[in-house]
Homo-oligomer: A and B are copies of this chain.
Amino acid sequence: MQNERRLAVLRAIVEDYVATEEPVGSKALVERHGLGVSPATVRNDMAALEEEGYIAQPHTSAGRVPTDKGYRLFVDRLTTVKPMSTAEKRAISSFMEGAVDLDDVVQRSVRLLSQLTRHVAVVQYPTLSRSTVRHVELVALAPTRLLVVLILSTGRVEQRVVELSVAIDDEMLVRLRGSVNAAAGGEVIADAAIRLREAAERASDLPDASTTAAVVNTLLEAMSDHRSDQRVAVGGTRNLARFGDSFDTAVRPLLEALEEHVVLLKLMGEATAGGLVTVRIGAEGPYEELSRTSVVTTGYGPSDDALASLGIVGPTRMDYPGTMAAVRAVARYLSRILDEA
């Protein structure tokens, strides 16, 4: 792929096809884009592009359509992610303004993202693993029943009920609360777990060892609960209409994937940090049935330390530059908000 004009032709084909949803022919191409050559010349280029697998024709004597490989080249070499306009930026801020808690922030993000891109938006909740412990609260529900509340820096709250073998009194509750918070407070989850184990170890001789152990175990379990790492918010399902007709071949499999959060997370892949946007086009993904689907994702988190991913899922035939810009912008804003909190 050396020829300069051929690349221009490919770009033109992608842009036209995305805009019109119809196979694009040589004549229309020279008219709509100002490449100063004749249709016949373009046809030669097209033949070459087809030879190399970047475009294809649905049937003989139809216009050309980009292949996955064609889109790939397009995003890799022919795209510059355009920054958002100031108007758009303002819209984003005002949209995110006034969020009260983590749930709310995430909800607003999905909604925003799906509205900006007109695709289905997915936002993964921040992982436990990289957040820090803000506070641990113990509430006595009954003499042998304790509510353990784990509050994290991202605003996430995990709560568990733990049954004790011996009754607990007020004084002991205060002591235990103190020691647990002293051990875990402010630490990253992984470190907090270590400190908690140490604390339990130290307490193993004391009379209240069993109670301490029970509470610590509950906390450790809550901290390592990957079930909650798999929480995601999905929005903009209405945009599935953009897949056009093909309900069975494209929309249904996608609906199924969106419901299986495990599948969905696998589809989104690893969160990439540093403002890098990942694009996975059609059959490049792990699922056969989603060969007509592309995924555009990036990571987010305070100071670009990727806590989780966020992105959109849409038809391979989509406006990649615009979508990538939107995904990146929302990730930035979300990161900033988590930073402030």
Query: Which residues of A approach B to under 8 Å, CB–CB?
Result: 100-101, 134-135, 137, 139, 141, 147, 149, 151, 155, 157, 159-160, 235-238, 240-241, 245, 247-248, 251-252, 255-256, 258-259
Contacts and interface: CB of A to CB of B under 8 A. Distances in A.
Nearest to A140: B135
A147 B258 CA distance: 34
Contacts of A141: 134
A251 to B, nearest CB: 8
A157 B160 contact: no
B151 A147 contact: yes
A134 B147 contact: yes
Contact of A157 (B149, B236, B248): B149
Contact of A134 (B139, B237, B258): B139
Contacts of A135: 139, 147
Contact of A235 (B151, B236, B241, B259): B259
Contacts of A101: 159-160
A77 to B, nearest CB: 36
Given A134-B141, A157-B157, A240 B255 contact: yes
Given A151-B139, A241-B252, A259-B237, A100 B134 contact: no
Which label, helix, strand, loop or mixed, suits the secondary structure of the A interface?
A: mixed
A111 B33 CA distance: 51
4 closest A-B pairs by CB: A238-B255, A135-B139, A238-B256, A137-B137
Contacts of A247: 241, 245, 247, 251
Contact of A139 (B137, B147, B252): B137
B147 A149 contact: no
A160 B104 CA distance: 12
Contact of A149 (B149, B252, B256): B149
Contacts of A240: 255
A139 B150 CA distance: 12
Nearest to A110: B259
Contacts of A160: 100-101
8 contacts: A135-B139, A157-B159, A237-B237, A238-B256, A241-B247, A241-B252, A245-B247, A247-B247
A12 B248 CA distance: 31
A137 B140 CA distance: 12
Contacts of A139: 134-135, 137, 151
Contacts of A155: 159
Nearest to A247: B247
Contact of A259 (B137, B238, B241, B256): B238
A322 to B, nearest CB: 22
Contact of A137 (B149, B248, B252): B149
A122 to B, nearest CB: 14
